[in-house]
Amino acid sequence: MSAELASPTEFTMKRPLFNRSSAIRWVTSHATQHWRIIIMLFVGALGNAALAAVVPLLVGDAFNAMLKSPPDTSLLLPLALTIGGTQVIRGVLQLGRNFGAELLGQRLEREIRDELYITLLGKSMTFHSLQPVGDTMARATNDVREVNLMFSPGINLVIGSLFFLIMPILFAPRYNPALIITPAIFAIIYFIALVRYLRNLEPISDEVRASFGDMNSHLAESLDGVETVKGAAQESAEVERFIFNARRVRDAFIHQGDTEARFIAFLLYGIAIAGGLTHALFLFQNNQLNTGQVIGYFGLLRMLDFPTFTATWAYTQVSMGVSSAKRILELMNRENKLDQNSTGKTAEMRGEIEFRNVSFAYPDTGEAILENISFTVKSGQTVAIVGQTGAGKTSLVKLVNRTYDVTWGQILVDGVDVRDWNMASLRSQISIIEQDIFLFSRSISDNIAFGKPGATRDVVETAALAAQAHDFIQTLDNGYETVIGERGVTLSGGQRQRLALARAFLTDPRILILDDSTSAIDSATEDKIQHAISTAAKGRTTLLITHRLSQIRWADLILVIRKGKIAAIGTHEELINSSDAYSRIFR
């Protein structure tokens, strides 16, 4: 594990740092944390293979005893008991091997899921805006599962088969040193063929996992936008797109199967059995081996069937696991410039905000969204931000809590650069209510208390009353315990926004940002919420992105944004007479 491999993250948890320089090193650094289980796996595999090799040796001895004249039957019972005893022990060791591999795989799956989830929470909004959700879900579910399967049954069978491959080489010379030739040549050619097989399989495994991720991305996107698909009567077109992606997955699996079928392990095994038996019979004919030794040697050669029969799909499973680990690691290592700054400033905010020559551009486009923005907001002031769609209003307010980081310039809160604040302290004192409200598939009470877990029912109801949400909540079947649908689809737009307001009121932020958050509220409810917002704004700094004149007029300061620049700044009375841009918006 290497500390220099750590990359700054927006959110992290204290846990061992794993080597992320390559997929194999990353998985290995996870696995070596469980070295006791690995030892159990190897001991079980070695013991299992060694005791399996005992059987043909003892069977050969039994044949020799019976071929004596007269037959020596006194040896049969001890040999039978020995075989039975060794196989009972072998069964225990095999159980230990399988249990160890399964335990290791399950633990790694759990750890990798945790690590990936924590890393995804730490990624910036720029990352999440560009990364398809469906592909992320494919990596977080199927690819993580493939890493588990890489260990059990994958590596479990690989280790077991390698010991089975070694045993004939170790035990054959006890009969005649020349008998090592066949299993040794088999092992050499087997590994040469295996290296070539894995080299050919690697890009195919990558394509299998990538095509599945693409298919999953399209599926998630189609289901998330199913209303749009049905509204435009594009069901047939979306089905065709899905069929195309599904065919790509099918073709990748067929290509994988074709490569597996070309692996020559079975041919090598057949040649080894024929060649080894011929060699043994030649030695027998020259009185260098007896019958029992020929039978024992043939039984040892039969041990090669385990690495032969498991090779194709066990190594395929390992290759799939490595490809999946690459995809997971690529997601976690994706560039992320936001740092939670755990040693940064932690203090109660006053709410002063200053923009100093701020410019911002999204990394993927490089096109400037905001240019040379400078203004100051005193603690407790309410600022209305107005401008045409696409002017950069939302991007501006999202720089305050570091949803995005400025490209140039500085944003100061209470005189301290936001990048010098502890991320958790900064964001816990800033609430943003967006136009597109996100609610979780949980109870209404849990959604309101999301920013303050453990809040009492009285506190939740007080926040709901302030947001004018209490009355409609009471009309629901289970009141505050009503579980709402995903993203709050079972509620109207106005109801969702009132719940978002209640969530913001509950956290009692020092800076409140409302991004056109009353756009879906009717006029009657707007008057009530306007009063609630006015009350909530007292004593805290409030930034309003709005087109509602009633909200604009009572703001202490108005910013007019045009094409990413400040076109005008001042009070309503000042701007109505001095700014053509504001006058046009106001009219």
Q: What angle do CA 178, 179, 180 make, to 5 degrees?
A: 90
pLDDT at site 517: 61
pLDDT at site 1: 36
Residues facing 387 on adjacent strands: 561
Mean pLDDT of 560-577: 86
Residues facing 416 on adjacent strands: 413
Does residue 496 contact residue 488 with C-beta atoms inside 8 Å? yes
Per-chain mean pLDDT for the chain: 85
CB-based burial, 115-143: b 16+ in 10 Å, e otherwise: bbeebbebbbebbeeebeebbbbbbbeeb
Q: Where are the beta strands (DSSP E) in 87-244?
A: none
What does pTM read for this prediction? 0.72
pLDDT digits 0-9 by tens, 148-179 = 999 989 999 999 999 999 999 999 999 999 99
pLDDT at site 10: 53
**Topology at the third CATH level for domain 353-586:** Rossmann fold (3.40.50)
Q: How confident is the model at residue 3 (pLDDT cuts 50, 70, 90)?
A: very low
Calculate what percentage of the chain has a pLDDT beyond 90: 37
Biggest CA pair distance of the chain: 125
130 pLDDT higher than 60:
yes
202 pLDDT higher than 80:
yes
Which of 27, 321, 303 has the alpha carbon at shortest distance from 160?
Answer: 303
520 pLDDT higher than 60:
no
Whether the domain at 20-333 and the domain at 353-586 fall into the same CATH topology: no
pLDDT digits 0-9 by tens, 69-118 = 788 888 889 999 999 999 999 999 999 999 999 999 999 999 999 999 88
Q: Rounded to 5, what percent of the chain is helix, strand, coil?
A: 65, 10, 25
The CATH number of 20-333, from 3.40.50.450, 1.50.10.10, 3.40.50.460, 1.20.1560.10, is 1.20.1560.10
Residues facing 411 on adjacent strands: 355
Annotate 226-245 with DSSP letters as a single string.
Answer: HHHHHHTT-HHHHHHHHHHH
Mean pLDDT of 126-134: 77
Distance of CA 197 to the CA centre of its chain: 29
pLDDT at site 364: 65
pLDDT digits 0-9 by tens, 467-510 = 888 888 988 888 899 888 766 667 877 788 788 888 888 888 88
13 pLDDT higher than 70:
no
Sequence spans of domains, the chain: 20-333, 353-586
